[in-house]
Structure 1
Amino acid sequence: MKYLLSVLLGAVCYGILSTIVVTAYGEGYGLGEVVGSQLLVGFVLAWGLVLFTKIREKRRSKSSGGNLEKAQQQAKLTWKQRLFLMAAGTPTAVTGLLYYQSLKYIPNSLAIILLFQFTWIGVLIHSVSKRKRPNGIVFLTLAVLFGGTLLAAGIIEQGLAKFNWIGVVLGLLSAVSYSLFILLSGKAVPSVHPAYRSGWMITGGMLLVFALFPPHFLFNGMLGGNLLVFGFLLGLFGAFIPPVLFAVGVPHIGEGMTGILGASELPVAVMLSSVVLHEHVSMLQWMGVVLVMLGVALPELFKRVRRASSNYAMKSA
């Protein structure tokens, strides 16, 4: 359960981001500045966590009389592993770039539903990689989630004709990139402590963004304004907390379940759009939010019902 909650909380953090980004755009900041400041803050926080983890492991090893050399060996990474983790972190940066750019062309609600397509893309990737067909529960869950997102994003009421197709393509590409991030976050050197993995993954994403968008904001005084506030919020809830939580949970629950639990970011984003951005959210959209939450809970509900049935059958026998 703790691994399920870890991934769920990581996805909730992602649901906060779009509201912060729209607010930052409203104050005149650009894509490179928003994503660059986000990953810079995430980089500082991630390596701060690495330092804290090292100090804690040393103290724990000394107090318990354990083998300090063993703990240091576990934290040690070869350069090949570091480069692999950095490469695995680039989809996080790419997802941010594509998703945040799509918000310039299409409404927040549509951008969210396009990013949300990572649910079935993730299940598809998981099924192909494992050469295993999803079971009926997964199909039912995805059907409920898809129906809920259509309602929650307002697609049924507004239609697609008036939306900018550049934004639509960018949103779909962000879903593909997000699916790759979920896949790689579980595969990239899972034996290493999540703090060390997250540090190198965020480093890879930051270097990619800085290569595409040179960080002029570091020298032109822009950080002295609200950009630092936006960067801190985006870095905390986008570049730091979710990768750490995903690094903890994904290796234990798998990419397919991760994709389903990740749906929780949609209702969070819709609620924040209504409360913070004062966007109109209709009754149909709120019904969609409820359906999405039901879809997120379905796999665990089925497990509990099946477990209760099995226990009852064993007691009856």
Structure 2
Amino acid sequence: MKYLISVLIGAMSYGILSTIVVLAYGEGYKLGEVVGTQLLTGCILAWLLALYTKVRESRKQRSRTNTAAAVKQAPALKLAWKHRLLLMLAGAPTVVTGLLYYQSLRYIPASLAIILLFQFTWISVLIQAVSKRQRPDKITVLTLILLFGGTLLAAGILNQGAADFNALGLMLGLLSAVSYSMFIIFSGKAVPAAHPAYRSAWMVTGGLLLLFILFPPYFLFNGLLWSQLLLFGFLLGLFGAFIPPVLFAIGVPHIGGGMAGILGAAELPVAVLLSSFVLHEHVSGLQWTGVVLVLVGVVLPELYKLRWRNSRTVTSSSV
């Protein structure tokens, strides 16, 4: 249960981000300043965790030096510079996703922006189907239909019309979903044998360097960092770049990727709820119906996979 709760809290943390960003925009802060302080805070926290992990591993290794367990224990992967560079490159899509997603919040409501970001579910399926040259199965097609229909309802397009929404905001939101899909595909293949704490630290570092190239960190020198921007950056870094990766690293290995995908959908209702209660954005009953359909579309394939695996396990055990 504690591992389920760990992943659930990590997913819910992501849902808080859009509300914090909108509040930061309301105080007059710019995109580069908001994302810059978020990644800077996340990078500092990630490296503190990596340092703690290294010290803890060193103590364990010293305590087991003269034991048989130390001889049998597989050595941890030592990150060469090529591994570090690969992880830094894998962290780049997170920056692109954050920039596109946060910029879309300037033009469209936060409740709509999170719906568009959640299109990464079917975009990832499409990318993998094209790359592997395989047609989606029936459960995948049903999932895509639910996601598409739920998106139309949740976005309010059916009762308001697409013309009522900013075209640039819609495009930025969809592009953030494409970028996030690429991150999911590439990040899992980047040095998977490395410790999660070290992987996270190097990926966030790569993202921070890319961001500072795109948006030079003038806020570090003009005194703006020590204003209210530091609070927003700390909250974004804590709930976006630190807590979720740590909690996922703790819980996912114990509950499996399928259950983690189901619990990860908790990000969506949290974001919509906060946009409604904190930002006072209007969310109609029809839109909530769409949110439920999107959640069903996210959960359905994972439940199908779990059922299929359980049936295979029962069949093999009976044989």
If the length of structure 1 is used for normalisation, what is the TM-score?
0.86
**Bigger mean CA deviation after superposition, 219-228 or 230-239:** 219-228
Residue 118, structure 1, aligned to residue 120, structure 2: yes
What CA RMSD, in Å, does the superposition of the two structures yield over aligned residues? 3.5
**1:62 and 1:68 in contact (8 A); partners too:** no
Residue 153, structure 1, aligned to residue 142, structure 2: no
**Aligned equivalents of 1:68 and 1:310: distance in 2?**
37
Displacement, 1:16? Answer: 1.4
**1:141 and 1:295 in contact (8 A); partners too:** yes
- After superposition, give the CA deviation of every residue in 1:144-190 in whole Å (9 maximum; x if it has no partner): 23322322222222221022222222222111111111111211110
**Residue correspondence of structure 1 range 244-283 to structure 2 within 5 A:** 244=246, 262-283=264-285
Residue 224, structure 1, aligned to residue 226, structure 2: yes
- After superposition, give the CA deviation of every residue in 1:58-82 in whole Å (9 maximum; x if it has no partner): 2223334478799896252111111
Match for residue 244 of structure 2 among 231, 234, 242: 242
Displacement, 1:258? Answer: 7.5
**Bigger mean CA deviation after superposition, 249-258 or 29-38:** 249-258
User: Cα distance 1:69–1:226, how it changes in 2: closer, same or farther (>3 A)?
Assistant: farther
Q: Which residue of 1 aligns with 2:289?
A: 287
**Bigger mean CA deviation after superposition, 147-156 or 46-55:** 147-156
Q: Which residue of 2 aligns with 1:144?
A: 146
**Residue correspondence of structure 1 range 88-127 to structure 2 within 5 A:** 88-127=90-129
**Aligned equivalents of 1:220 and 1:9: distance in 2?**
36
User: Cα distance 1:54–1:75, how it changes in 2: closer, same or farther (>3 A)?
Assistant: farther
* Total equivalences in the alignment: 317
Displacement, 1:98? Answer: 0.9
Displacement, 1:201? Answer: 0.5
- After superposition, give the CA deviation of every residue in 1:219-262 in whole Å (9 maximum; x if it has no partner): 22222221111101111121223344566788999999987765
**Aligned equivalents of 2:194 and 2:16: distance in 1?**
29
Displacement, 1:282? Answer: 1.1
Q: Which residue of 1 aligns with 2:135?
A: 133
Unaligned runs of 5+ in 2: none
**Aligned equivalents of 2:40 and 2:81: distance in 1?**
22
**Aligned equivalents of 1:70 and 1:237: distance in 2?**
38
**1:3 and 1:253 in contact (8 A); partners too:** yes
Amino acid at match of 1:22: V
**Aligned equivalents of 2:134 and 2:8: distance in 1?**
24
- After superposition, give the CA deviation of every residue in 1:15-62 in whole Å (9 maximum; x if it has no partner): 211111000000111001000000000100110110111112122233
**Bigger mean CA deviation after superposition, 75-84 or 251-260:** 251-260
Unaligned runs of 5+ in 1: none
**Aligned equivalents of 1:84 and 1:302: distance in 2?**
34
Amino acid at match of 2:161: G
**Identity of paired residues, percent?**
70
